[in-house]
Amino acid sequence: MSGARVVIVGQGYVGLPVAMRACEAGFDVVGLDVDKDRIDLLQRGKSFIDDVDDERLAAALATGRYLPTTEHAELRGFDFASVCVPTPLHDDAPDLRYIEEAARALSTHITPGCCVVLESTTYPGTTEEIFVPILEAGSGLRAGADFHVGYSPERIDPSNPTWKFHNTPKIVSGVDPASLRVVREFYDQLVDVTVPVPGTREAELAKLLENTFRHINIALVNELAVFSHGLGVDVWSVLDAAASKPFGFMRFSPGPGVGGHCLPIDASYLSWQVRRCLGKEFRLVDVANDINKHMPDYVVARATEHLNRRRKPVNSSAVLLVGLTYKANSGDARNSPSMAVAERLDRLGADLRAVDPLIDPDEVPPHVRLVGFDADQISQSDLIIVLTDHDILDWALLERYADRVLDTRNRLRYPQVERF
């Protein structure tokens, strides 16, 4: 299959790593995206995501086998297509417009024997009930009989130093056995391990389960952190002690909330479908959503308590936010709880500054001033809130002013630091 023409629809956090790996495996790759600015950057060899550096992108471009484009005409003659587009929530319901648009764009270029795979996170049934009918209507061909269709959920974890696209086991499925075989043969050339499942619905639900599991367990430790503070118990010591058990326990850490594309959204997809199809509430998901959604409120409440003890109001206090992205060592600010904390503090009149060397300055809210991480900025702050603990920061700078620090990530162990 190497040398075949591969189309990756969507060149963001999911699609770009897939495109790079496919190019490195010897495929001719078309990276399609509707965002002209994004494509312009890629054409100039400039990456905008953590997991693909400029050198890797330049190497792919230099082969002549990677074409980033906005032109739908470049879809013609593809052998394999992967759809890696966003699936946001709109009014608490799945918004599949990008999947539908991608399917329509591909449908007129489908030929007998080709294969189309959906990678975007979605609810069970999307591939066969929504994606396939659009492909069939535009092509005049039948999925399974004339061309192959599958679902293979993305498992990208931005900035994970260990688990990258190629060495993370990849779930694969098809609408029929022949489709599964073709889908698996393709991904076997991109990743170390493929995991076939019986059908597309199982693959779709497996993806939701993975992230719902994380979402619920993070909510558990977030709630535990709130209660532990009220009880006068150090939640981090509790977690360290529990994590010493070699079986039956998996450690999760509390924080200012959850962010990124997956966690705040995927569990809601599952809850939405359970309500729609079964008329029931997925109570664990709904409770987890409520807990995690309100963690920024808890951070602000703790910040207010901290300032009050020093006889300072939030209004007009200089507050330095350390980290604005949603996770450490990543520039990804999607759905970051740090932004929610900043918004709430701004409403209370705080003078907000932030340190984050990884975030795109265009992502910083207008009411927050991006500053350097230095002694002057730290000394001028009435309160420093650690929201995202990038390794690149010089954490030793905070030791002298540790009594002004609220650490939501357990990064600092100075006795004066106030932690969750």
Let me know the angle formed at the C-alpha of 192 by 98 and 45, rounded to the nearest 5 degrees: 55
Buried b / exposed e across 349-365, counting CB within 10 Å, b at 16+? ebbbbbbbebbeeebbb
Which helix (H) or strand (E) segment is 115 a member of? strand 115-118
Q: For 295-317, give the secondary structure using H, E and C.
A: HHHHHHHHHHHHHHHCCCCCCCC
Using DSSP's 3-state secondary structure scheme, residue 77 falls into coil
Those residues whose C-beta lies under 8 Å from the C-beta of residue 112, and which sit 6 or more positions away, are 141, 146, 147
CA 390 and chain centroid, separation? 17
Handedness of CA 334, 60, 99, 204 (dihedral sign): negative
Catalytic residue among 23, 84, 115, 262: 262
In whole angstroms, give the CA distance from residue 176 to residue 182. Answer: 10
Angle between helical axes of 132-139 and 97-107 (0-180°, round to 10): 30
In whole angstroms, give the CA distance from residue 241 to residue 231. Answer: 17
In whole angstroms, give the CA distance from residue 176 to residue 178. Answer: 6
* Other Cβ atoms closer than 10 A to 311: 6
Those residues whose C-beta lies under 8 Å from the C-beta of residue 66, and which sit 6 or more positions away, are 19, 20, 23, 29, 31, 60
In whole angstroms, give the CA distance from residue 283 to residue 149. Answer: 34
Active site residue 262: yes
> What pairs with residue 407 in β-bridges?
386, 419
| Cβ pair 241, 187 in contact under 8 A | no
Let me know the angle formed at the C-alpha of 305 by 255 and 398, rounded to the nearest 5 degrees: 60
Catalytic residues: 262
